[in-house]
Structure 1
């Protein structure tokens, strides 16, 4: 079974129509808009980009467009900044803060019993609201999920690490209302390099830790990306991306915990038919766990801990800086 990184960019639906409103696919497809820069080799063998003023301006403008679109997506009214609670379901029936009804799970089926006056919608359709009626959902595949709606709140029901979770998402959440953008390094063409995707003979199931203690994630790694940076050779294990034809790379580097978020950053790449990939670390993004403790984001595999400083991409969010 193939798993995809779905927590990195939420996959949401319009609360009324059920229409997908996530811009994940569009964002994944625009990760490589700037052309490769001319390069030269120093006396030490290091490969450095040589950019004219016009090329530099074009590169920066493309990054600004991408960054603006990504920030707009991140601030979606029902995105991860809107998550108010993280509930782990078990066999004990319980009412959950931020969600209507009494919830429980048994034999891979989630049950919800609504009280008079409570309601839930799915794909724009109101579900049975008779007092005492039991609504059932599942089974849900690992890393899968569905979205229910109650008023202006989206209720995410998902499966993570073998357990069912409920995460209400409300546009009035303080984290979303106070969000003022994410600091980033200025775009630098030196951190946009060309590499090669080398597929494994057989895709490798890869187990990684999570931002939440006690659970693990398993992803299918179809191969690795080999590249050079500052005269050194590196390889990064790649997972299947959210959009078809994309790969997702989780990594840390020498800036992690200093100027960038300690646990992880993510980069989406699109390999060409011949395996050529463009790794533009200027577009390395934070995962939801960089902003909230209510996320279950995966950690990078051990081999993706780069010993060099990637001074590009998103930095530690203001929200985390204020907690330090």
Structure 2
């Protein structure tokens, strides 16, 4: 296992492809109902209550979340909510969006149920100036090998919110070499249903990159071979907003060297935010 430089001998082409990835990544972050549009997070109680920015009354029981529109105009998937609506969701899975005018209320399950309001007029969205990154470097594309488990294993990890945990299925391990030493990372299934996803920290975490985690998506293994392109290591939503409940990396996914590639600590998290027009 070694750094794969032959495929990226044309550095201009490599940089162009990375720039395309970066533009698409920032376009996704700037979506009017994306993570930067979050303005609140509320945990539902077992008694119907009203919450700021979320019309209707909301509550939960052991199995599901509920909303009673109470005359408010709410829709789910374009269909009006005309009475009490029940949402039974998978823990740590994708949520459901309830539209209320210009805002969307996300219903999600993280042990208990929560609602988060996505508002296109959110200050964080209005002030978004892109994501600072290290310069792309072909040497940070590293060849590795995927070693599948006999059966996918459920792995429990912590969260950036104290007291929460997430459970993900791990299909196997990824092994790779760096500076003559071998490293092993637990891999989860990719967020879009294909490929692999790795949560990790490294020696830059809490220094130049977000302290809690970064994520790296890998294409599906080709005869067991995978490419770890650390230039595309990205921040999770919790790096941008306090209204996220992101998972922490599993034990062992802490790399002992500095991965000087991928996304840096967001401007929004820096005490002395530089002018993005002059930032590298």
Superposition TM-score, scaled by structure 1 size: 0.80
Q: Are 1:187 and 2:141 matched, yes or no?
A: no
Say which SS state the counterpart of residue 86 (structure 1) adopts. Answer: strand
Paired positions, count = 270
Q: Are 1:313 and 2:278 matched, yes or no?
A: no
Q: Name the CA shift for 1:244/1:105 in 2 (closer, same or farther; >3 Å).
A: closer
Say which SS state the counterpart of residue 303 (structure 1) adopts. Answer: coil
In the TM superposition, residue 207 of structure 1 has moved relative to its aligned partner by 0.8
Instruction: Name the CA distance, whole Å, in 2 between partners of 1:110 and 1:193.
Output: 44
Q: Name the CA shift for 1:271/1:110 in 2 (closer, same or farther; >3 Å).
A: closer
Instruction: Name the CA distance, whole Å, in 1 between partners of 2:251 and 2:272.
Output: 27
In the TM superposition, residue 126 of structure 1 has moved relative to its aligned partner by 1.5
Say which SS state the counterpart of residue 161 (structure 2) adopts. Answer: coil
More strand by share: 2
In the TM superposition, residue 323 of structure 1 has moved relative to its aligned partner by 7.3
Q: Are 1:148 and 2:148 matched, yes or no?
A: no
Instruction: Name the CA distance, whole Å, in 2 between partners of 1:126 and 1:244.
Output: 30
Q: Are 1:74 and 2:42 matched, yes or no?
A: no
Instruction: Name the CA distance, whole Å, in 2 between partners of 1:67 and 1:107.
Output: 41
Aligned partner of 2:107 among 154, 157, 163: 157
In the alignment, is the contact (CA less than 8 A) between 2:64 and 2:113 conserved in 1? no
- Which is further off, 96-105 or 277-286? 96-105
For 1:65, the equivalent position in structure 2 comes to 20
Instruction: Name the CA distance, whole Å, in 2 between partners of 1:245 and 1:93.
Output: 39
For 1:131, the equivalent position in structure 2 comes to none
In the TM superposition, residue 93 of structure 1 has moved relative to its aligned partner by 1.9
Say which SS state the counterpart of residue 168 (structure 2) adopts. Answer: strand
Superposition TM-score, scaled by structure 2 size: 0.92
In the alignment, is the contact (CA less than 8 A) between 2:45 and 2:59 conserved in 1? yes
Instruction: Name the CA distance, whole Å, in 1 between partners of 2:70 and 2:85.
Output: 15
**Which segments of 5 or more consecutive residues in structure 2 lack a partner in the other structure?**
274-280
**Which segments of 5 or more consecutive residues in structure 1 lack a partner in the other structure?**
1-35, 40-50, 129-133
In the alignment, is the contact (CA less than 8 A) between 1:85 and 1:294 conserved in 2? yes
Say which SS state the counterpart of residue 84 (structure 1) adopts. Answer: strand
Q: Are 1:127 and 2:81 matched, yes or no?
A: yes
Runs of 4+ in 1 over 3 A off after TM superposition: none
Say which SS state the counterpart of residue 215 (structure 2) adopts. Answer: strand
In the alignment, is the contact (CA less than 8 A) between 1:109 and 1:136 conserved in 2? no
Q: Are 1:206 and 2:155 matched, yes or no?
A: yes
RMSD between aligned residues: 1.7
